[in-house]
Amino acid sequence: MKKLSARRRHPLAAVVVLLLALACTGGLYAVFAPADKAQAEESAQSLTIEEGKKLYAVGCASCHGTGGQGTSDGPSLVGVGAAAVDFQVSTGRMPAATSQGAQVPKKKNIYSQAEIDQLAAFIASLGAGPSVPTEEQYGPEGADIAKGGELFRNNCAQCHNFTGKGGALTKGKYAPSLEDVDPKHIYEAMQTGPQNMPSFPDTTLSEQNKKDIIAYLHAVNSDETVNPGGLELGGLGPVSEGLFAWIFGLGGLIAVAVWVAARTAKAKKS
């Protein structure tokens, strides 16, 4: 509750409230709309795709081609599915800057969730692909944290580090830190394999496996993670520990030694 009250005055709070209100209204309308529910849904769906297509033409077509077939500047989006769109756009990776370095970084998302859903619907209509996961799929209920840990060490830690702090890949590419990443996005990344990350489809890493991994990550890399020994030092292992030992350990002891060996102040200066 504290967090909520602190964020009430956030500049975006009004927008969030407005969106919530709109969603509620829309939802209520959908529930209470009397006739032809299915037909209404279908037409709503095609309307969404239509909207997505417009957004796509403005924001994405220059690189991915007008029909999502891909160009020399961007891969084909046929069959990548809604999950890939949701991941790439919500984390701000897409649309990418015109000149990116070795890899497209995470940045501020410029689309609303509604717009992202429209884009996703459009891309999904180009070819079958993984759909956006539901809370049920990535939520913590029924997850085995310890199993998730083992799976994480087997499939993920080699790039993302023991507890998801990230790591280096070849030629300036990197596996990003998984700190504060939305569980939904982690799920989508495993499903779709963004950029150079391999995908982990349900056939090789089951839905339950993914749920376990997300629960493990939450346990070891979130605001609530307990580091019993104190400062985590970035969770990077011996390198940061060594630096700390040199600077604060030996540095502190040398400072103490200077005090021990220094001459005591004299009564008068000669």
Residues 139-158, interacting with other proteins (CB under 8 A)? 145-151, 153-155, 157-158
Least distance from C-beta 10 to other proteins, angstroms? Answer: 22
Q: Which of 92, 96, 174, 179 binds other proteins (CB under 8 A)?
A: 174
Which residue lies nearer to other proteins by CB, 115 or 150? Answer: 150
Q: Which of 159, 178, 186, 214 binds other proteins (CB under 8 A)?
A: 159
Q: Which amino acid is at 102?
A: A
SS3 88: helix
* Only segment of 9-17, 50-58, 135-143, 234-242 that touches other proteins (CB under 8 A): 234-242
How far apart are alpha carbons 60 and 169 in whole angstroms? 27
Residue 62 binding other proteins, by CB under 8 A: no
Residue matched to tokens 């967090």: 3
Least distance from C-beta 123 to other proteins, angstroms? Answer: 17
Residue 30 binding other proteins, by CB under 8 A: no
Dihedral sign for Cα atoms in the order 209, 215, 219, 220: positive
Residue 78 binding other proteins, by CB under 8 A: no
According to CB under 8 A, which residues from 185 to 224 bind other proteins? 193, 195-201, 203-206, 209, 216, 219-220, 224
Is the distance from CB of 210 to CB of 190 less than 8 angstroms? Answer: yes
Least distance from C-beta 266 to other proteins, angstroms? Answer: 5
Which residue lies nearer to other proteins by CB, 58 or 226? Answer: 226
Token pair for residue 234?
């970035």
> DSSP string covering 8-68, please?
TTSTTHHHHHHHHHHHHHHHHHHHH--S-HHHHHHHHHHHHHHHHHHHHHHHTHHHH-TTS
Is the distance from CB of 48 to CB of 113 less than 8 angstroms? Answer: no
According to CB under 8 A, which residues from 84 to 113 bind other proteins? 101-102
Which residue lies nearer to other proteins by CB, 55 or 63? Answer: 63
Which residue lies nearer to other proteins by CB, 17 or 239? Answer: 239
Residues contacting residue 90 through CB under 8 Å, at least 6 positions apart: 109, 111, 113, 116, 182, 185
